[in-house]
Chains A and B, each alone.
Chain A
Amino acid sequence: MAHWRRRPHRGYLTNGPGREEDVLTCAHCQFQIFFKTEAERVRLGRCGRCDKAVCAGCEKRMLSTLKCEPWETWLERVEQREMFLRKVGV
């Protein structure tokens, strides 16, 4: 049986022989996207603004709102909100 070759810049998931998959992270919500073949990968959702792979939920949201919020921005927003709340003593 051929061994699954781990590709650079991708994660890897295995659940036994024949159940190996590559992993990508949704650029908007960090949902882990699993796929087996390159054909599956090219069918993954893509954000039209940041041009990164996104999950089906974020792709749907992106198409309806045209809003692109990378997870780094989300993370900073969440942390800044907490810092502000601490400053004002809430």
Chain B
Amino acid sequence: MPHYAVDFIESAIGASVTFGSHGASNATQLRRHKVIEFSFSVETPADQTARITGQRYSAAGTSTAVVPTPLFALEGALTTPAMLGVAGENHSVEPTYTATLIVFNKVVIMRNQLLYYAPPGAEIVVPGTNASGIGWFPGAISSGTPAAVAQVILEE
């Protein structure tokens, strides 16, 4: 299974404002993908905290497309095929979140980077259905609107 890196860069994060999302789309073929790793950090660390939330959505909203970068080639292949799923950042229209389907919720100190590695074999799976996926946003933030960088490693 090839791995892909998706980088989200947000110039000013705010509470309940999605900084990145990834999901399946009818535009290509539908295929499941898994969240293998997630990292989050801010560019100007200060004594702030934020609750980072990952939540399933049923409509992707409007965003700037981010092209997932293949990390290594499949065994025996010279190149890795492009990821079928889609990703986006800088949402101008928020995804339609499903209220009960929060998959990640963690308060982080923004002086340090957040690194998350999924439990092997029990990763968060995005179903292969159109316009469904996971959006990442600060559920709450103590103060300020710092610039943030996040990266998700996906397996498809």
Interface residues, chain A, with chain B CB atoms under 8 Å away: 6, 8-17, 19, 23-25, 29-32, 34, 71, 75, 78-79, 81-82
Q: Output the nearest chain A residue to B102 by Cβ-Cβ distance.
A: A31
Tally of contacts, chain A with chain B, CB under 8 A: 81
Do residues A13 and B125 form an inter-chain contact, with CB atoms below 8 A?
no
Would you call the interface of chain A mostly helix, strand, loop, or mixed? mixed
Do B114 and A30 have beta carbons less than 8 Å apart? Answer: no
Complex contact B119–A23 (CB within 8 A): yes
Least CB distance, A69 to chain B, in whole angstroms: 13
In the complex, residue of chain A having the shortest beta-carbon distance to the beta carbon of B56: A30
**Alpha-carbon gap, A25 to B121, bound state (A):** 10
- Decide yes or no whether B142 CB sits under 8 A from chain A: no
The answer on a CB contact under 8 Å between B119 and A11 is: yes
**Count of chain B residues near A, Cβ 8 A:** 31
Pairwise interchain contact B103-A30, C-beta atoms closer than 8 A: yes
How near does chain B come to A4, taking the closest CB pair, in angstroms?
Answer: 11
Q: Report chain B residues within 8 Å CB of A16.
A: 109, 111-113
Q: In this complex, what residue of B is CB-closest to A25?
A: B122
A13 near B115: Cβ-Cβ < 8 Å: yes
Ranked nearest first, the 10 interchain pairs of A and B with the lowest CB-CB distance are A16-B112, A11-B119, A25-B122, A82-B129, A12-B117, A13-B116, A15-B108, A78-B127, A11-B118, A14-B115
Chain A contacts of B124 at CB under 8 A? 25, 30, 32
A82: chain B residues at CB < 8 Å are 30, 129-130
Contacts of A13 in B (CB 8 A): 106, 114-117
List, in ascending order, chain B residues with CB within 8 A of A81's CB. 129
> Are B114 and A8 closer than 8 Å at their CB atoms?
no
CB A7 to nearest CB in B, in angstroms, measures 10
The one of A15, A25, A30 in contact with B113, judged by C-beta atoms closer than 8 angstroms, is: A15
Give the complex CA separation of A83 and B49 in angstroms: 42
Q: Is B82 an interface residue (CB 8 A)?
A: no
